[in-house]
Amino acid sequence: MHVSHTMPRAPGLAWDVERIRKDFPILQQEVHGKPLVYLDNAATTQKPQPVLDALQAYYTADNANVHRGVHLLSERATEAYEAARRRIQRFLHAADPREIIFVRGATEGINLVAQTYGRRNVRPGDEILITALEHHSNIVPWQMLCEDRGATLRVVPIDDAGDVDLEAYERLLSDRTKLVAVAHVSNALGTVVPVARMIEAAHRRGVPVLVDGAQAVAHIRVDFQALGCDFYVFSGHKTFGPTGIGALYGKTELLDQMPPFHGGGDMIKSVSFEKTVYNDLPYKFEAGTPDIAGAIGLGMALDYLEGLGRDQVAVYEHELLTYGAERLSSFPGLRLIGTARHKVGVLSFVVDGVHAHDVGTILDREGIAVRAGHHCAMPVMARFGVPATTRASLAIYNTREELDALVSGLEKVRDIFG
Amino acid sequence: MSELQELYQQVILDHNRKPRNFRQLPSPTQTAEGYNPLCGDRVSVQVQLEGDVIRDLAFQGSGCAISKASASMMTASLKGKTVGEAEEVFDRFHGMLTDDRPSAQLPAALGKLAAFAGVREFPIRIKCATLPWHALHAALAGQAEPVSTE
């Protein structure tokens, strides 16, 4: 019963971006009297009509609580919710749908692992290893865990291009390392981190790896079996799905030995005042009524992405990135921050003598939505010696013309600031 | 004039390029830090009080054109004023940016600081303009904790 506005296409067919744009009603508007140019996709992506329709259809026809009712609506809601779980499993190649835990987003997934796996396994003197390009959400939960357990947070440096220093990584891996937590794609720099290699090196030492895929799933093919990751988290809203929903993947053997995160309904088999028996996977980690509509919307978003062809998505976005990087790097006084060899569509930059906020305000008046600031990655800003950057981040519906508009907007910045 | 031109007036751009009193005072009697966690703007304000009079006033830090120009023009306009007079100017400045219906006389009473009236049309930038003023207020009140816009 999946309705896809954009049908699957054979490889090699031209990318019909105008057709894709029609699937995103929000893009058909003007802001400040100019056509909206939405280049803030690393913050959140827009939602295609099939996702909006799925949310509407669920609340209109099927809304009921899951895993409870004997009535038909509850049956339908449960089936749709569990179908979304299986959709995620197939899309990302988990071995079993029970390895997919619905959470509010990548942040909650990381906190779940830190507070359950981490608290159970990390002891005083142990180390957690992260990298210098992490989002705050893959730093702070580990700091909290380390503080609580008397452990130490170690940070793998990055080079001037924004690539992780793999030699330093191998040196930092030790018998004290209890977990590696690393972004698949940097939100501030766009770097695609060679996580498969990092996982292999960690596994040689028996160290499990959590991958923060918040910026990856919408842009590159992700395959848990090929990666071999132990945990993986991502957010629906950065993947053309609704806000408030995301997923944590964990290998069954790890999830099984972890204590629950939140207590409540749905995560138990039986409750008495003396003894509560926890539910099986994945429900052990899904206390309370979940975001049922969100899960269904996320499932539909992944269907939509699959329909476009995930390899074509990556190829198209790479072409756009290359074009944007060329145009921006020839702009006088502009410096790109994050020039890794393997990147997704993130163009982070500073303009001589103009603060990112002023750039952001002027671009906004031209209809162009970008992020200006530290991108929740203050250590990355410190690494490059800038207080903030302007970031244009791309997705499937962006066009070369929009990147041309960005450059015209920057000319306006230069006109004002002289 | 477009709203952008109202925001980035020449006097503001000039103070951004060449901020006045952008230095460290040798022996300030009062200092305070202002911080906007949303954008990372930081400003430290130092005051040299002589009795009730602001004898010298300077700032340091990094931020956008609006916050830098606001800090610069604040230091330039308050030197020699009493603490009470400075607080009055702050009230008027704040009112010009945030009052639902600002009094028509406000800009005139603010002199050069009236250049910031255009910030009203950019709600998320109001904090940029008021950050150094909040820091000054904290310094005069002898507040030790950095002030935050959030």
- The Cα A161–Cα A342 span in angstroms is 10
- The Cα A210–Cα A195 span in angstroms is 10
Supply the DSSP symbol for A117.
Answer: I
Per-residue pLDDT tens over the stretch A284-329:
999 999 999 999 999 999 999 999 999 999 999 999 999 999 999 9
Domain locations in chain B as residue ranges: 3-19+29-141
The pLDDT of residue B144 is 58
Average pLDDT over residues B42-56: 95
At B36, the pLDDT band (50, 70, 90 cuts) reads confident
pTM of the model: 0.93
Select which of A88, A305, A376, A406 is catalytic.
A376
- The Cα B64–Cα A361 span in angstroms is 11
Percent of chain B with pLDDT strictly greater than 70? 93
Indicate if the pLDDT at residue A2 is higher than 70.
Answer: no
Average pLDDT over residues B76-84: 96
From chain B, pick out residues whose CB is under 8 angstroms from the CB of A417: 8, 13, 65
From chain A, pick out residues whose CB is under 8 angstroms from the CB of B17: 353
Per-residue pLDDT tens over the stretch A216-261:
999 999 999 999 999 999 999 999 999 999 999 999 999 999 999 9
Calculate helix-pair angle for A310-329, A292-308, nearest 10 degrees. 80
The nearest CA of chain A is from the CA of B40 a distance in Å of 6
From chain B, pick out residues whose CB is under 8 angstroms from the CB of A372: 39
At A8, the pLDDT band (50, 70, 90 cuts) reads very low
Burial annotation B94-118 (CB, 10 A radius, 16+ → b, else e) = bebbeeeeeeeebbeebeebbbbbb
The pLDDT of residue A13 is 53
On whether any CB of chain A is under 8 Å from the CB of B8, the answer is yes
Average pLDDT over residues A60-69: 92
The nearest CA of chain A is from the CA of B49 a distance in Å of 31
CB A50 within 8 A of CB A303: yes
Cα distances (angstroms) measured from residue A403 to each of A10, A140, B21: 27, 34, 40
Domain locations in chain A as residue ranges: 17-38+310-417, 53-306
Per-residue pLDDT tens over the stretch A330-359:
999 999 999 999 999 999 999 999 999 999
The pLDDT of residue B1 is 63
Identify the architecture of domain A17-38+310-417 in CATH.
Alpha-Beta Complex (3.90)
Average pLDDT over residues A81-88: 98
The nearest CA of chain A is from the CA of B82 a distance in Å of 33
CB B38 to CB A361 under 8 A? no
The pLDDT of residue B123 is 92
At B39, the pLDDT band (50, 70, 90 cuts) reads confident
On whether any CB of chain A is under 8 Å from the CB of B47, the answer is no
- The Cα B137–Cα B133 span in angstroms is 6
Q: Which residue of B has its CA nearest to A378?
A: B40
Q: Known catalytic residue: A229?
A: no
CB B65 to CB A355 under 8 A? yes
Average pLDDT over residues B65-92: 96
Percent of chain A with pLDDT strictly greater than 70? 97
- CATH of span A53-306: 3.40.640.10
Are A17-38+310-417 and A53-306 the same fold in CATH? no
Q: Which residue of B has its CA nearest to A416?
A: B8
Which of A112-121, A133-142, A390-399, B103-112 comes out lowest in average pLDDT?
B103-112
Q: Which of A294, A286, A208, A291 is nearest to A248 (CA)?
A: A286
CB A392 within 8 A of CB A406: yes
Identify the architecture of domain B3-19+29-141 in CATH.
Alpha-Beta Complex (3.90)
Average pLDDT over residues B42-51: 95
- Closest partner CB to A357 (pick from B3, B17, B64): B64
Pull the structure tokens for residue A258. 């972890």
Pull the structure tokens for residue B53. 């009079």
Indicate if the pLDDT at residue B150 is higher than 80.
Answer: no
Kindly give, in sequence order, each residue whose CB lies less than 8 Å from that of residue A124, ignoring residues fewer than 6 positions away.
A149, A150, A151
Per-residue pLDDT tens over the stretch A187-205:
999 999 999 999 999 999 9
Kindly give, in sequence order, each residue whose CB lies less than 8 Å from that of residue A69, ignoring residues fewer than 6 positions away.
A75
CB B40 to CB A378 under 8 A? yes
